[in-house]
């Protein structure tokens, strides 16, 4: 039994979105930001208690006397393709000698609700399959020698934590309603919700009975709205307003405009109106257009200022004459009023500016720097026919490959007996045959393909010699701090090496602890000689150690002024500059053979520099970054651009 929809306290925007979806199934679904709020997740799951589907795949409110709830199909985050799309039904295939198809989760969600928690963490290929099913309302299965088409007309509900990244654009483009509201509940509402949750945990039926009347009223309102919806009118002027609002908010494409129209009509039907009014448009703006906006006025005063004094720029050559009129049109009359009212009505604060979208897009990619699929570590995701070193046999895939051939290999005829299930469809029956050993041939063998997320180890080697103390130590610390923060977001690891005096020291073993690394960095002493070779040697040792532990990629970030004066072996009196140069050349070749990407961040001022930093970068085969001309953000970007396969 699910938590009663009517028992949820507050969450007005989320409730409104789900009610609109119950009235108008063509909205296709909703994405709800939860920020770790289990109440919102429970609210999304309660949606199935309000509606069901008829044979035509349209919503039909559950009758007031019915206890039937619409089934919700759970979409796991780490689902494999065979479970998602379907594949070979092993048991029936072995018994009949004919390939039998087993539908996947998308097909089982036909006529139901497909629910995904933490939808922003879904694998990219999983999102692509879900989006394809939302578009086509079917699943095209072509795998494991099986070809089939399954109906998959479902409604998609997903929850996500914005701090961990936004849902994929593929999903945001295909479901109408996005609720980013972060309105905090009052203490009284929170206390009441805690009490109701406690009551539900102890007596689910009792809480359902307590809210039976409210639940019946909601179902009745949905039924009435469904009947009224086909008759709700919308004027041509309102259609024009929706189109202009989409332009004003910078919403891409016209699918959102269509969703806005449907949401406004559904809201009007739910409120008992036969025509759409401004209140309905405002609700649609909040739930459809605003979350997709790329240009949203931040304040009411800004909108009023734009309306009163739109920019009057002289028309340039080739400028469309109507463009200035269009700008005024977007800010004038009812369009401007709708924007003002939407802002006053708390358009979700997460209607993002371009900069915020970029930041969240970066967070959405965290943990995805590198996906290793040829090792024997991680999650088993698929099978392959090629055998690699230390490969493991995929028993399930091997049996599926061998199953269709068993009767032929035993010289037995194929079985074609059939039976009818309760729905009247014909299915292969399982014959009463003795259990026999499955015959496996070498061509049947399939091997497991694993996938695990393997971040980058950033080895920060900091020159803390006396010469560095005179240069840009503070600025170097700023750039390092920025790198530490970004490494945390991407689930990378960071190690800290300090080299000064006679040698190098590992101050921090590979870790994801930003605070610990930052404290050590802030307390980093400076003084003495520059044993640059020792720092590079320590970095190579760390990279080798990390590789043994599963971190396959390492990157050396060397903060130095380039003035190496202490050799790795011997002392500076017997081993001068030529010996140090030879050591660095050897270490540069070693970095290349170990596939360790390196970046030299030159901290020395140009006024006193003789090009030592650039020469060091050439010797080590490293990318060169000049710190004094760069701020922390620029240095961070330059470092990331050196990571193989990193998207900027």
Return the CATH superfamily for domain 456-641. Answer: von Willebrand factor, type A domain (3.40.50.410)
Mind spelling out the 3-state secondary structure of 435-474? CCCCCCCHHHCCEEEEEEECCEEEEEEEECCHHHHHCCHH
Comparing 562 with 15, which gets the higher pLDDT? 15
pLDDT digits (tens, 9 = 90+) for 588-641: 888 888 888 888 888 776 666 678 888 888 888 888 887 765 555 666 666 666
pLDDT digits (tens, 9 = 90+) for 316-326: 433 434 444 44
CA pair distance 571, 533, nearest whole angstrom: 12
| DSSP one-letter code for 113 | E
Least confident residue range of 331-335, 376-380, 506-510, 588-592: 331-335
The band of 263, judged by pLDDT with boundaries at 50, 70 and 90, is very high
pLDDT digits (tens, 9 = 90+) for 403-445: 777 777 767 665 554 444 444 444 444 445 555 667 777 777 7
- Provide the 10 A C-beta neighbour count for residue 485: 13
Least confident residue range of 21-25, 79-83, 219-223: 79-83
Spans of all domains in the chain:
5-230, 236-309+323-364, 371-415+439-454, 456-641
Per the listing, tokens 């050196």 go with: 642
User: In the predicted model, is pLDDT for residue 71 greater than 70?
Assistant: no
CA pair distance 128, 383, nearest whole angstrom: 20
User: In the predicted model, is pLDDT for residue 302 greater than 50?
Assistant: no
- Residue among 478, 546, 562 at smallest CA distance from 506: 546
Cα-based distances in Å from 88 to 26, 400, 425, 451: 32, 6, 19, 22
Task: Give pLDDT, residue 460.
Answer: 84
Query: What's the half-sphere exposure (Cβ side, CA atoms, 13 Å) at 193?
Result: 18
**Matching fold, domains 5-230 and 456-641:** yes
Whole-model pTM: value is 0.56
> What 3-state class would DSSP assign to 153?
coil
Task: Give pLDDT, residue 426.
Answer: 44
- Full DSSP string of 555-589: EEEEEE-S---S-SSS-TTTS-HHHHHHHHHHHHH
- Full DSSP string of 508-552: EEEE--HHHHHHHHHT----S---HHHHHHHHHHHHHHHHHTT--
- Residue among 486, 433, 442, 440 at smallest CA distance from 460: 486
CA pair distance 620, 590, nearest whole angstrom: 9
CATH architecture for residues 5-230: 3-Layer(aba) Sandwich (3.40)
Highest mean pLDDT: which of 296-300, 486-490, 549-553? 549-553
């Amino acid at each position: 039994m699910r938590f009663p929809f009517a028992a949820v306290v507050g969450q007005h925007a989320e409730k409104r979105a789900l009610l609109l979806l119950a009235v108008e199934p063509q909205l296709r679904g909703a994405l709800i930001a939860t920020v770790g709020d289990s109440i919102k997740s429970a609210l999304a799951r309660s949606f199935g208690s309000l509606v069901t589907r008829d044979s035509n795949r349209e919503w039909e409110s559950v009758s007031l006397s019915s206890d039937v709830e619409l089934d919700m199909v759970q979409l796991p985050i780490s689902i494999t393709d065979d479970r998602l799309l379907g594949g070979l039904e092993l048991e029936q295939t072995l018994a009949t000698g004919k390939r039998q198809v087993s539908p996947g989760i998308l097909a089982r969600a036909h006529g139901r609700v497909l629910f995904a928690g933490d939808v922003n963490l879904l694998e990219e290929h999983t999102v692509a399959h879900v989006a394809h099913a939302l578009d086509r309302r079917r699943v095209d299965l072509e795998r494991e020698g099986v070809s089939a088409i399954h109906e998959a007309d479902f409604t998609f509900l997903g929850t996500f934590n914005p701090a961990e990244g936004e849902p994929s654009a593929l999903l945001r483009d295909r479901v109408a309603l996005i609720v980013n509201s972060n309105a905090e509940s009052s203490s009284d509402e929170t206390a009441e919700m805690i009490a109701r949750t406690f009551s539900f945990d102890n007596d689910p039926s009792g809480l359902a009975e307590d809210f039976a009347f409210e639940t019946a009223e909601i179902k009745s309102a949905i039924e009435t709205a469904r009947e009224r919806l086909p008759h709700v009118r919308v004027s041509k002027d309102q259609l024009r307003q929706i189109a202009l609002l989409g332009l004003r908010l910078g919403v891409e494409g016209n699918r959102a405009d269509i969703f806005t129209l449907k949401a406004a009509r559904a809201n009007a039907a739910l409120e008992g109106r036969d025509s759409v009014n401004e209140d309905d448009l405002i609700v649609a703006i909040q739930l459809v257009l605003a979350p997709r906006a790329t240009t949203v006025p931040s304040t009411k005063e800004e909108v009023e200022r734009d309306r009163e004094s739109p920019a009057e720029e002289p028309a340039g050559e080739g400028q469309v004459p109507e463009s200035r009129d269009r700008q005024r049109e977007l800010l004038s009359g009812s369009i401007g009023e709708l924007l003002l009212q939407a802002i006053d009505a708390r358009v979700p604060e997460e209607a993002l500016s371009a900069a915020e979208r970029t930041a969240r897009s970066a967070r959405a990619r965290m943990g995805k720097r590198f996906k290793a699929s040829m090792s024997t570590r991680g999650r088993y995701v698929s099978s392959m026919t090629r055998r690699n070193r230390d490969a493991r046999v995929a028993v399930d895939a091997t049996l599926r490959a061998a199953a269709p051939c068993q009767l032929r290999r035993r010289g037995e005829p194929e079985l074609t007996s059939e039976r009818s299930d309760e729905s009247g469809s014909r299915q292969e029956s399982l014959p009463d045959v003795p259990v026999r050993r499955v015959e496996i041939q070498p061509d049947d063998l399939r091997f497991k393909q694993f996938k695990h997320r393997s971040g980058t180890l950033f080895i920060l080697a900091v020159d803390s010699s006396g010469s560095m103390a005179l240069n840009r130590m503070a600025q170097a610390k700023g750039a390092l701090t920025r790198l530490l923060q970004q490494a945390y977001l991407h689930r990378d690891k960071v190690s800290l090496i300090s080299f000064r005096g006679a040698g190098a020291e590992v101050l921090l073993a590979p870790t994801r602890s930003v605070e610990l690394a930052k404290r050590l960095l802030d307390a980093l002493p400076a003084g003495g000689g520059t044993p640059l070779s020792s720092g590079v040697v320590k970095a190579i040792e760390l990279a080798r150690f990390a590789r043994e532990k599963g971190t396959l990629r390492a990157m050396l970030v060397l903060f130095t002024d380039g003035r190496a004066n202490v050799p790795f072996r011997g002392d500076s009196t017997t081993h001068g500059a030529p010996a140090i140069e030879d050591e660095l050349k050897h270490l540069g070749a070693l970095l290349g053979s170990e596939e360790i990407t390196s970046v030299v961040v030159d901290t020395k001022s140009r006024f006193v520099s003789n090009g030592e930093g650039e020469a060091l970068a050439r010797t080590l085969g490293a990318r060169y970054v000049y710190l004094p001309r760069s701020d922390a953000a620029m240095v961070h970007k330059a470092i990331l651009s050196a990571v193989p396969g990193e998207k900027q």
